[in-house]
């Protein structure tokens, strides 16, 4: 999903902030073996600590933000791999 690890995916998306930051890898879809599928299909983003685990907009603390990122991931997956079934691979439709 993200090729440049020098910026935070959510800082850019939510606040139009491209300022370079220290980021952490986040597997967008995880749990029940889905983390390895996220790894395989490239559904990973880079997040600053605020957007990963600590802030009110953190994907691990804010369900709305987490669902938004999963929707972005599903759209990207379906665009890049139209012959594959997101639902079959990840077990859920986020759209």
Q: Which helix (H) or strand (E) holds 25?
A: strand 24-27
- pTM, two decimals, is 0.89
Contact 53, 8 (CB under 8 A): no
Residue 90 has pLDDT above 80, yes or no: yes
Q: Does pLDDT of 31 surpass 80?
A: no
Q: How many CB atoms lie within 10 A of CB 33?
A: 9
Give the pLDDT band of residue 34 (cuts 50, 70, 90).
confident
């Amino acid at each position: 999903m993200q090729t440049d690890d020098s910026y935070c995916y959510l800082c850019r998306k939510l606040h139009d902030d491209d300022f370079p930051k220290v980021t952490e890898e986040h597997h967008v879809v995880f749990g029940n073996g889905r983390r390895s599928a996220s790894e395989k299909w490239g559904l990973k983003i880079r997040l600053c600590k605020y957007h990963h685990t600590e802030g009110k907009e953190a994907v691990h603390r804010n369900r709305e933000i987490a669902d938004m990122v999963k929707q972005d991931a599903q759209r990207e997956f379906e665009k890049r791999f139209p012959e594959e079934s997101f639902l079959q691979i990840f077990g859920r439709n986020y759209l």
